[in-house]
Amino acid sequence: MGKIISIVSGKGGTGKTTTTANLAVALGKLGKSVVAVDGDLTMANLSLVMGLDDASVTIHDVLIGTAEIKDAIYAIPDFENVHVIPAAIDWEHVMKADPRGLPSVIKPLKEQFDYVLIDCPAGLQVDAMSAMLSGEEVLLVTNPEISCMTDTMKVGIVLKRAGLAMLGFVLNRYGRSSNDIPPDAAEEVMEVPLLAVIPEDPAVREATLEGIPVVAYKPTSDGAKAFMALAQEIERISGFKARVMY
């Protein structure tokens, strides 16, 4: 049985989609079968970041009831073992799809894949909650700023109370400012384990523009190495251990 990980944050723009895409490709490189799900039903962009641009069936169609989930799963030939379930971007689909149906669509995917990664919207609104509660484990993404960290913590507390297992957090875009909170202090504030420090790296942004996650676009970059290390750490702790520890 596979693992379902919700990738979440309090504020927008912390790097959830970037983390989802890179973790998917990195776990695929480690030989795991992965599906990355775009759970951001109103501002979908995961498929663009992963280079899938011709998807006709989306998770919206599945939620609306006009397609089956198997028709919304796309293999990405350039990345071994990696699949994506895209979301629609047109307003008509967005209006019709009820996000509350996400858990029943996403949860069964763990029977088919080693990892189901959910790219969630930021915050605690109903669409974000529905996407986040479709997972069983939580990966928090934050930037090294206090308001970003406290908002992400709030989300983590809510999800823990809802019964999800806390894997820990990713400190993303570290080194962008001289005022950044250092990793040790960040871990103290967050009160959950720090799983990876991802540096601010122009290669990450370039990769986003190319539609190729940085672990494939520039594997020797510091950003790519950090995402690979994150994948190894997830491989180590995801599943039973995370449940016992927290």
Ligand X SMILES: Nc1ncnc2c1ncn2[C@@H]1O[C@H](COP(=O)(O)OP(=O)(O)OP(=O)(O)O)[C@@H](O)[C@H]1O
Q: Which is nearer to Mg ion, 16 or 93 (CB)?
A: 16
Identified binder of ligand X from the candidate list 201, 217, 231, 238, rule CB under 6 A:
201
Question: Can you give the length of the chain in residues?
Answer: 246
Q: Give which of ligand X, Mg ion, none residue 14 binds (C-beta under 5 to 8 Å, depending on kind).
A: ligand X
CA atoms lying within 13 Å on the CB side of residue 123: 7
For 77, residues 6+ apart whose C-beta sits below 8 A from its C-beta are none
Should residue 15 be labelled a site residue for ligand X when binding is judged by CB under 6 A?
Answer: yes
Identified binder of ligand X from the candidate list 42, 55, 110, 200, rule CB under 6 A:
200
C-alpha angle with apex 212: 24 to 20, nearest 5 degrees? 30
SS3 call for 64: helix
Q: Are 65 and 76 in contact (CB under 8 A)?
A: no
Task: Name the CA dihedral angle for 59, 124, 103, 133, rounded to a multiple of 10 degrees.
Answer: 140
Q: How far is the CB of 227 from ligand X (least distance, A)?
A: 9
121 DSSP assignment: P
Q: How far is the CB of 14 from Mg ion (least distance, A)?
A: 9
Should residue 156 be labelled a site residue for ligand X when binding is judged by CB under 6 A?
Answer: no
Q: Give which of ligand X, Mg ion, none residue 159 binds (C-beta under 5 to 8 Å, depending on kind).
A: none
Should residue 16 be labelled a site residue for ligand X when binding is judged by CB under 6 A?
Answer: yes
Should residue 228 be labelled a site residue for ligand X when binding is judged by CB under 6 A?
Answer: no
Pairwise CA distance, residues 143 & 122, whole Å:
13
State the residues that interact with Mg ion by CB under 5 A.
Answer: 16-17
Q: How far is the CB of 74 from ligand X (least distance, A)?
A: 19
Pairwise CA distance, residues 21 & 213, whole Å:
6
Q: Which is nearer to ligand X, 43 or 64 (CB)?
A: 43
Identified binder of ligand X from the candidate list 122, 153, 165, 196, rule CB under 6 A:
122
Pairwise CA distance, residues 37 & 116, whole Å:
7
β-pairing verdict for 194-199 and 137-142: unpaired
Among 15-23, 78-86, 128-136, 162-170, the segment contacting ligand X (CB under 6 A):
15-23
User: Tokens for 96?
Assistant: 């019709």
E-only strand ranges, 19-133: 34-38, 74-75, 82-85, 115-119
Q: Which is nearer to Mg ion, 20 or 242 (CB)?
A: 20
Among 77-85, 92-100, 155-163, 201-209, the segment contacting ligand X (CB under 6 A):
201-209
Q: How far is the CB of 53 from ligand X (least distance, A)?
A: 17
Q: How far is the CB of 13 from ligand X (least distance, A)?
A: 4
Footprint of ligand X on this chain (CB under 6 A)? 9, 12-18, 40, 43, 122, 172-173, 198, 200-201, 204-205, 208, 223
